[in-house]
Amino acid sequence: MIPFFVQIKCKLGQSYTVANALADAEIASEVYSTAGEFDLLVKFYVEAGTDIGHFVNEKVHKIPGIQDTRTMITFKAF
């Protein structure tokens, strides 16, 4: 499994709605609320060979209340 993270900026007042939608969709491993430029930090795992761009576009961006995202692909955990 390949891990990656997505920072999500939500529309005003939508952070909890987006977080709950991610949890209900059962596509995220972990969902954290954060302070700063982005509202949520979400950890995902996909099978090796999965196109992460398509995954984010098809599974994450379709959730109502999301304004912007930043995807961070990881290489190795220490």
What CATH number is given to the structural domain containing 43? Answer: 3.30.70.920
Sequence-distant (≥ 6) Cβ neighbours of residue 67 within 8 angstroms: 9, 10, 11
**Which residue in 37, 42, 34 sits closest to 59, CA to CA?**
42
Give the Cβ contact number of residue 77 at 10 Å: 5
Is residue 35 domain-resident? yes
Q: What is the pLDDT of residue 77?
A: 86
pTM of the entire predicted model: 0.93
Averaged over 19-29, what is the pLDDT?
A: 97
Tens digits of residue pLDDT in 33-61: 999 999 999 999 999 999 999 999 999 99
* Dihedral of the alpha carbons of 54, 64, 15, 67, in degrees to the nearest 10: 70
Residue numbers of the domain that contains 42: 2-73
Is residue 78 domain-resident? no
